[in-house]
Chains A and B, each alone.
Chain A
Amino acid sequence: MTALGSAPRRAATPPPRRRLRAPSFLLALPAWFWLLVFFVAPVGLVLYYSFGYKPSLFETVATDRLSFDRYLEALSPTFASVFLNTLWVGVIGTILCLVIAMPAAYWIATKVPAHRRGLMLGLVLVPFWTNFLVRTIGWRVMLAPEGFLSEWMVSLGLGPIELLNTRGAVLIGVVYNYLPLMILPLYVAFDRVEGPLREASKDLGADRVRTFLTVTLPLARPGIVAGVLFVYIPLMGDYITATVLGGAQGTMAGQLVASQFQTAQNWALGSAMAVVLILTTVLSAVVAAAMLWLVTWPVRFATRLRIGGAS
C-alpha cells in the first residue's frame, strides 16, 4: 500500500532545476587575486621604479625621466662585488645543504622504520619552532671569539675561532637555517621511489651504488630540483643571516636593497638592485640547469635504447 501511495507523489515532484555551474577556474580565483595584488603589482612597481631616480634628499623616487642609470650604478664595482659575494654564498650554501641533506633524507626515507619517520621529520623541523632571528643570533654566541666554543679551541691549542663577521659565518648561518627546506623535499622524493624498485634493480644485478645512481637518483630528480630551488631562491634574497653574522665582509645583496629602501631612502636604486638580484638568481639557476644537462648528456646517451617500430 505504501508503495502504491508514494508513486503518484513522486510523479508530482517537479523535474530537478538546472543547476548553475560556475566555471571551474573560479576555484583558483583567490590565489590569482593574491598573486596579482601582492606579487605582480609590487614587482611591477619595483621594475618601474628601477628606471627612475631620487630627485631630492627628502623624496624617495621620481619617474618623470626614465633611464638605465640606476642599473649602471647598481653594477658599479663596489656593488658588483656584493652581488658576486651573494652568488658565492648562494651556490656554495645550496651545494652544502644538498650534500648534507641527501644522506639524511635517504636514511629517513629508506632505512628508518615507517612508524618512526614522522618523529625524524619532526626533529628536522625543531629549529623552525624558534624565531629565525633568535636562531641566527644564537650562532653569534657560538662563533664569538670570546665565546665558549672559541675558548675550548684555545684550550685545545687550536687557537680562537675567527669566523664571526666573515663570509664563512654567513655560510654556516644559511646552511643551518635552510637545511630543513632541503631535507623535506628530498625525503618526499626518496620516499616516492618504492622499495620494490630498488629490489628489482638489485635483482637485475646492480649493487647499492649502481641502484642509487641508476634508479633512486633519476626517480628522485624532481624532488631534488624542488629542494635546490627551495633553498637557493630564498637564500639569495636572505639578508637577516648576513646582517647578524656577516659584518662588513659578509654583505649580501639583500642588505644592499634593504639599506637603499630604509636608510638611503633611494627607492630607484634599491629597485634596480632588487631587479639585478632577481635576474642574478634566475640566470644563475638557468646556467646551472644547462650545465647539469650538458654534463649528464653522455650518461643519458649511454642509457638510451630505441628499438623502433612495429614487430
Chain B
Amino acid sequence: MTDTAAQAALHAAAEAHAGDVTLTGVTKRYGDAVAVDGLDLRIAQGEFLSLLGPSGCGKTTTLRMIAGFEEPDAGDIRISGASVVGVPPHKRHVNTVFQQYALFPHLTVAENVAFGLRRTRVPRSELGGRVVEALDMVRMRSFADRRPTALSGGQQQRIALARALVNRPSVLLLDEPLSALDRQLREEMQVELKLLQARLGTTFVFVTHDQGEALSMSDRIAVMRAGRIEQLADADTVYGSPASAYVAGFIGRQNFFTGTASGALVEADGVRLRGTTDLVAGTRVRAAIRPEAVTLAAGEDAGENRIVGRLVGISHLGESMQFIVESGRHSIVVLTPRPTAPRVEPGEAVTLSWSPADVAVFPDETAAPVEEPSA
C-alpha cells in the first residue's frame, strides 16, 4: 500500500519535473508555401518562452504542431524526452489556451474546467476539489455555476486558463490568449500570467505578435520570420542587441538609416553615424538608433552622431514625449521622459545626438524588407 503510494509520488515528481520541449528540423508545408522551415528549438522545463512574429511567420503553426493539431512534414518534436510525432492531441500531456478561448457553451464554468479531468478518469470525489482549486487560482470560483457565455472576455480568459491548468500539463501552450482583451485588462493579465507561471513552474509556450507582451513576460523570446527563428534570446538581449535589422525593427521602434560603411563610420544621405564596430569600407548597411537613445536639444550644431533637423510634431504619450524631426530625407522619432523633455515648439530647428554605443549596424537586406508589427 505504502509502496504503491511512494511509487505514485515518485511518478508524480518525475512527471512534474518533465516539461521540456525539443523541436529538431521541424518543417511544415501547406501546398507550395512553407509555414515552418527546418525549425530547431529547445524549450527548457519551467521556462516561459514566447514565439514572436508577424502573422504568417509560422508561430501559430509551430504551437499547433506541439499541441498535435498539425503534424510536421519533417523533423521531430519531443515533449519530456519522448517523441510525439504521430501522437494525437488527446494523448499528449500538453494543454492549450485558445485565442478565442473555445469554452464549451453547453457546460457551466465548473463543468468546463472538469472536462479534462473527466477524460483522464480523475475520481469523482477528487473532481470537485480540483475544479475549485483551479478556479481559485484564477479567482473565478464565484462564477463556477454560470455559463461561460454570460461572462466577459477577461473572465472567459481566466476560465480557459483554469480549464487548461487543472490538468497539470507538462507544457501549457497559449495561442495569442490576450489579443481579444482591451489594453488595461491585457496588461493586468500579463502580470497575472507571469506570476502564475512562476508559482506553478509549468513550461509556458506563448504565441504573440505583440512585442510588448513578449518582452514583459518571457524568459526567452524566439523572434520568428518566414518559418525560421531569427533570434532566440532573453528580452534584454533581443531589445538591446538585436541580431538583425528585422529583429531590431520588430522589437520596439527604431530609426533606420541606410548607408555605406567605412570603418566605424556610416554615411547615410548626409547623416554621419559612428558606431562601435569596424566594417569593411563600402559595405551597404542599415544603422539603427532607438528613439529613446536620441537626445533632442534646441539650436543647430551638426557633426558626427549629431544631426540638425526641423521639429514637425510633438505628441504626449503619458510618461514620455514623442518628437518627430525631419532632416533631409529622414524622419526621426525621439522619445524623451516627460520630466527631462526640452521646451521646443514645432517648426523650430533642433539638434539630435546620440552616443556611439547606441548605434546598431546591420547588413542591408533590401531583398527582405522589414515588416511592420501589426499591433
In angstroms, Cα B141 to Cα A107, docked, is 39
Give which listed residue, A194, A205, A309, contacts B167 with CB less than 8 A.
A205
Q: Which residue of B lies closest to A211 (CB)?
A: B90
Known: A200-B102, A204-B163, A304-B111. A311 touches B142 (CB 8 A): yes
Nearest-Cβ distance from residue A53 to partner chain B, whole angstroms: 53
B254 at the interface (CB under 8 A from A): no
Give which listed residue, B105, B116, B118, contacts A219 with CB less than 8 A.
B105
Known: A305-B110, A307-B132. A200 touches B142 (CB 8 A): no
Q: Chain A residues near B118 (CB, 8 Å)?
A: 303
Contact with A along B118-155 (1 / 0, CB 8 A): 11100000011001100110010110110000000000
In angstroms, Cα B128 to Cα A204, docked, is 17
Nearest-Cβ distance from residue B84 to partner chain A, whole angstroms: 13
Give which listed residue, A200, A205, A219, contacts B98 with CB less than 8 A.
A200
Give the A interface residue count (CB, 8 A).
26
Q: Chain B residues near A73 (CB, 8 Å)?
A: none
Contact with B along A196-208 (1 / 0, CB 8 A): 1101111111110
Give which listed residue, B95, B100, B131, contacts A196 with CB less than 8 A.
B100
Contact call A194/B131, Cβ cutoff below 8 A: no
Contact call A310/B90, Cβ cutoff below 8 A: no
In angstroms, Cα B133 to Cα A307, docked, is 11
B263 at the interface (CB under 8 A from A): no
Question: Which chain A residues numbered 204 to 219 have a C-beta less than 8 Å away from chain B?
Answer: 204-207, 210, 214-215, 218-219
Nearest-Cβ distance from residue B149 to partner chain A, whole angstroms: 12
Contact with B along A215-237 (1 / 0, CB 8 A): 10011000000000000000000
Contact call B145/A197, Cβ cutoff below 8 A: no
Contact with B along A171-205 (1 / 0, CB 8 A): 00000000000000000000000101101111111
Q: Chain A residues near B110 (CB, 8 Å)?
A: 305-307
Q: Chain B residues near A205 (CB, 8 Å)?
A: 90-91, 116, 119-120, 167
B104 at the interface (CB under 8 A from A): yes
Q: Chain A residues near B316 (CB, 8 Å)?
A: none
Q: Chain B residues near A194 (CB, 8 Å)?
A: 102
B268 at the interface (CB under 8 A from A): no
Contact call B115/A201, Cβ cutoff below 8 A: yes
Nearest-Cβ distance from residue A122 to partner chain B, whole angstroms: 26
Question: Which chain B residues numbered 86 to 109 have a C-beta less than 8 Å away from chain A?
Answer: 88-91, 94-96, 98-100, 102-108
Q: Which residue of A lies closest to B139 (CB)?
A: A311
Contact call A199/B102, Cβ cutoff below 8 A: yes
Give which listed residue, A202, A219, A305, A310, contacts B128 with CB less than 8 A.
A305
Contact call A203/B95, Cβ cutoff below 8 A: yes
In angstroms, Cα B102 to Cα A204, docked, is 12
Q: Chain A residues near B136 (CB, 8 Å)?
A: 311
Contact call A204/B106, Cβ cutoff below 8 A: no
Contact call B96/A203, Cβ cutoff below 8 A: yes
In angstroms, Cα B91 to Cα A201, docked, is 12
Known: A202-B88, A203-B90. A197 touches B102 (CB 8 A): yes
Give the B interface residue count (CB, 8 A).
42
Question: Which chain A residues numbered 272 to 311 have a C-beta less than 8 Å away from chain B?
Answer: 303-311
B114 at the interface (CB under 8 A from A): yes
Contact call A204/B119, Cβ cutoff below 8 A: yes
In angstroms, Cα B94 to Cα A219, docked, is 25
B67 at the interface (CB under 8 A from A): yes
In angstroms, Cα B106 to Cα A220, docked, is 10
Contact call B131/A305, Cβ cutoff below 8 A: yes
Nearest-Cβ distance from residue A11 to partner chain B, whole angstroms: 38
In angstroms, Cα B196 to Cα A10, docked, is 61
Contact call B90/A199, Cβ cutoff below 8 A: no
In angstroms, Cα B140 to Cα A310, docked, is 10
Q: Chain A residues near B145 (CB, 8 Å)?
A: 306-308
Q: Chain A residues near B89 (CB, 8 Å)?
A: 199, 202-203
Q: Chain A residues near B98 (CB, 8 Å)?
A: 196, 199-200
Contact call A204/B141, Cβ cutoff below 8 A: no
In angstroms, Cα B112 to Cα A214, docked, is 11
Q: Chain B residues near A214 (CB, 8 Å)?
A: 115
Contact call A218/B119, Cβ cutoff below 8 A: no
Nearest-Cβ distance from residue B255 to partner chain A, whole angstroms: 40
Contact call B144/A308, Cβ cutoff below 8 A: yes
Give which listed residue, B67, B99, B127, contacts A203 with CB less than 8 A.
B67
Q: Chain B residues near A215 (CB, 8 Å)?
A: 104
Q: Chain B residues near A197 (CB, 8 Å)?
A: 102, 104
* Residue among A197, A214, A307 with the highest chain B CB neighbour number at 10 A: A307
Question: Which chain A residues numbered 255 to 275 have a C-beta less than 8 Å away from chain B?
Answer: none
Q: Chain A residues near B132 (CB, 8 Å)?
A: 307
Contact call A219/B102, Cβ cutoff below 8 A: no
In angstroms, Cα B68 to Cα A308, docked, is 35
Q: Chain A residues near B99 (CB, 8 Å)?
A: 196
In angstroms, Cα B98 to Cα A207, docked, is 18
In angstroms, Cα B130 to Cα A30, docked, is 56
In angstroms, Cα B104 to Cα A215, docked, is 7
In angstroms, Cα B115 to Cα A100, docked, is 30
Q: Chain B residues near A304 (CB, 8 Å)?
A: 111
In angstroms, Cα B96 to Cα A200, docked, is 7
In angstroms, Cα B139 to Cα A254, docked, is 61
Contact call A307/B167, Cβ cutoff below 8 A: no
In angstroms, Cα B90 to Cα A210, docked, is 10
Known: A205-B90, A304-B111. A200 touches B104 (CB 8 A): yes
In angstroms, Cα B131 to Cα A201, docked, is 17
Nearest-Cβ distance from residue B180 to partner chain A, whole angstroms: 13
Apart from the given pairs A197-B102, A200-B96, A202-B68, 17 other A-B contacts in the complex at a CB distance below 8 Å: A196-B98, A196-B99, A199-B102, A201-B104, A202-B69, A202-B89, A203-B68, A204-B116, A219-B106, A305-B128, A306-B108, A307-B110, A308-B145, A310-B141, A310-B142, A311-B136, A311-B142
**Top 5 nearest A-B pairs by Cβ distance?**
A205-B119, A307-B144, A311-B141, A204-B116, A196-B102
Q: Footprint of B on A, CB under 8 Å?
A: 194, 196-197, 199-207, 210, 214-215, 218-219, 303-311
Q: Can you identify 6 A-B contacts, CB atoms within 8 angstroms?
A: A197-B104, A199-B96, A202-B68, A202-B89, A207-B90, A311-B139
